[in-house]
Chains A and B, each alone.
Chain A
């Protein structure tokens, strides 16, 4: 029993030491812009621009469902123009950032973990080290910077598409005119609604990219290991999004 406890303790200490060293290396890598700078634009396209279709797809259906749901809830109790308020407010502050974040955790987090994991098991990461290329500056920082910059851009597009989708649904399927829908949107709109959502999504982007890189670079055991790392990256990315979502609600609201 004592042996098992001490083994667990040693394993925990090892984990903390490795994570600490990893964080220190990643922190140092930020000051090497010559290494990571040229990679950022490539990663912004790969992680951000290529993610727009899935984010737009998600936003269209979120807007439709929200409009129908609001109408169902409000019928007979609340004026119907509140549908516009609910759709816009909910999409800007919560569903836009979180649903987009979750979708991108699947796409971007998995992509990073699989790519870096494959590089790890095929010794490409070792090759970089033997060539004295800083692995964190070359592989981790550009992905985290790209995630932090592009998640808000993709989220902003998702918010716009979601609101438009809710508006089209309200006009065509509910007994609501365009002026009434936008009356609801305007009545409760605050500028904070937008920046709150975008600040959150920037932090989601950083977290998802970081989890993908962390699990990818720790991959062991060939193809099976890459699969495990990919799954773990998605799970950790989603968990990080939920924790950060609660954190920002506590801090900023």
Chain B
């Protein structure tokens, strides 16, 4: 379970999270919707300790993330896969080595690494891409490698940062399908931040809307679709 409690975060004078509360229960996929620049990715980075809140707490399985020491944080990160907005694959490494990176850092035996990398690339349909460099891949393939790298660790949670941004509708559907399969086959809890409504409605069990630094509404897909909240309606209908 991931829980944000009254989190504040500012960069200089710009307040990004302003009393942000959110509960991500175990199992299922929660989508955090919001306008571009509303602080969705900032919220996500708090979960893996890439950012620390100015006030408030972020807990994962009851542990407050910014209170963890270096080793505890490394252990926690082993349970969380992170899919970055632009995949963030290491340019200098081949696809195989990118996926193997987290496994090797945990001292896994090289035979096991090979097995795990192969199975992770198979899940995303890129069995033959291991020898290629990220620069040789399309945007959609990079995202799929990013997902393979995240699931290679067999995490309990996967955080997706704008997984379909910049992709064509067909590739977006492929990524959505992958997120669904990852949840069903590996049983991981997903937290997706996006402003892509079509993708959100396809993958979400629950949706939360982030607005002006705090959660405006949380509900099931149907509840959000038929909301009376003016701000949420405006976002869903794409009204300026």
| A124 contacts the other chain (CB 8 A) | yes
Interface 9-mer from A67-75, A129-137, A198-206: A129-137
**A128 is an interface residue with CB less than 8 A from chain B:** yes
A133 to B90, CA, bound (A): 12
A16 at the interface (CB under 8 A from B): no
Write the nearest CB–CB distance from B3 to chain A, whole angstroms.
Answer: 19
Give min CB distance, A38 to chain B, whole Å: 10
Nearest CB on A from B73, distance (A) = 8
Residue of A35, A122, A124, A130 with most chain B CB atoms under a 10 A cut-off: A130
- CB <8 Å contact, B77 and A130: yes
Across the interface, name the chain A residue whose C-beta is closest to B50.
Answer: A126
Does chain A have a CB within 8 A of B56?
A: no
The chain A residue sitting closest to B75, CB to CB, is: A132
In Å, the complex CA distance between A122 and B49 comes to: 18
Tell me how many residues of B have a C-beta within 8 Å of chain A.
22
B50, A131: Cβ atoms under 8 Å? no
A125 closest partner in B (C-beta)? B88
For the complex, give the distance between the alpha carbons of A132 and B155 in Å.
13
Q: Is there an interface contact between A131 and B77, defined as CB atoms closer than 8 Å?
A: yes
Q: Which of B5-35 contact A (CB under 8 A)?
A: none
A62 to B145, CA, bound (A): 51
* Residues 93-132 of B at the A interface (beta carbon under 8 Å): 101-102, 105-106
B105 with A133: CB separation less than 8 A: yes
Neighbouring A residues of B43 by C-beta, 8 Å = none
Residue contact B50 to A133, C-beta cutoff 8 Å:
no
**B89 on interface, CB distance cutoff 8 Å:** yes
Contact of B88 among A35, A124, A133, A134 (CB under 8 A): A124
Alpha-carbon distance A128/B84, docked complex (angstroms): 11
Do most interface residues of chain B lie in helix, strand or loop, or is the interface mixed? loop
B102 close to A131 (CB less than 8 A): yes
Contact A123:B105 (CB < 8 A) given known A130-B82, A132-B77: no
Known: A124-B90, A126-B45, A126-B50. A133 touches B84 (CB 8 A): no
Q: Distance (Å) between the CB of B200 and the closest chain A CB?
A: 22
**In the assembly, what is the distance between CA of A122 and CA of B87, in Å?**
9
Q: Does B65 contact A (CB under 8 A)?
A: no
Chain A residues with CB under 8 A of B101: 128, 131, 133
A127 to B147, CA, bound (A): 12
CA distance in complex: A10, B106 (Å)? 38
Task: Identify the closest chain A residue to B47 (Cβ).
Answer: A130
Contact B84 A123 (CB under 8 A): yes
Is the CB–CB distance between B88 and A126 below 8 Å? yes
Decide if B151 is an interface residue (CB 8 Å cutoff).
Answer: no
Minimum distance in angstroms from B190 CB to a CB of chain A? 15
Closest Cβ of chain B to A40, distance in Å, is 15
Query: What chain B residues lie within 8 Å of A123 (beta carbons)?
Result: 84-86, 88
Tell me the bound Cα distance from A170 to B171 in angstroms. Answer: 69
Are B89 and A132 in contact (CB-based, < 8 A)?
A: no
Give per-residue flags for A213-236: 1 if the beta carbon is below 8 A from chain B beta carbons, else 0.
Answer: 000000000000000000000000
CB–CB B105/A126 < 8 A: no
B71 nearest CB across to chain A (Å): 10
Docked-complex contact B86 and A132, CB < 8 angstroms: no
Residue B91, interface by CB 8 Å: yes
Those of A93-123 within 8 Å (CB) of chain B: 119, 122-123
CB distance from A11 to the nearest CB of B (A): 12
Q: A35-B105, A132-B77 are in contact. Are A122 and B149 (CB under 8 A)?
A: no
Instruction: Encode contact with B along A29-42: 1 for CB under 8 Å, 0 otherwise.
Output: 00000010000000
List residues of chain A with CB within 8 A of the CB of B50.
Answer: 126, 129-130
A126 and B84 contacting across the interface, CB-CB below 8 Å? yes
B74 at the A interface (CB under 8 A):
yes
- Measured between beta carbons, the chain A residues less than 8 angstroms from B78 are 132
| Chain B residues whose CB sits within 8 angstroms of the CB of A129 once the complex forms | 48-50, 77
Q: Does B207 contact A (CB under 8 A)?
A: no
Question: Residues of B contacting A122 with CB < 8 Å?
Answer: 86, 88
Contacts of A128 in B (CB 8 A): 90, 101
3 A-B pairs with least C-beta separation? A131-B102, A127-B88, A123-B88
Knowing that A126-B84, A132-B106 touch, tell me 13 more A-B residue pairs with CB under 8 angstroms.
A122-B86, A123-B86, A126-B45, A126-B50, A126-B82, A126-B88, A127-B90, A129-B77, A130-B48, A131-B102, A132-B105, A133-B102, A134-B105
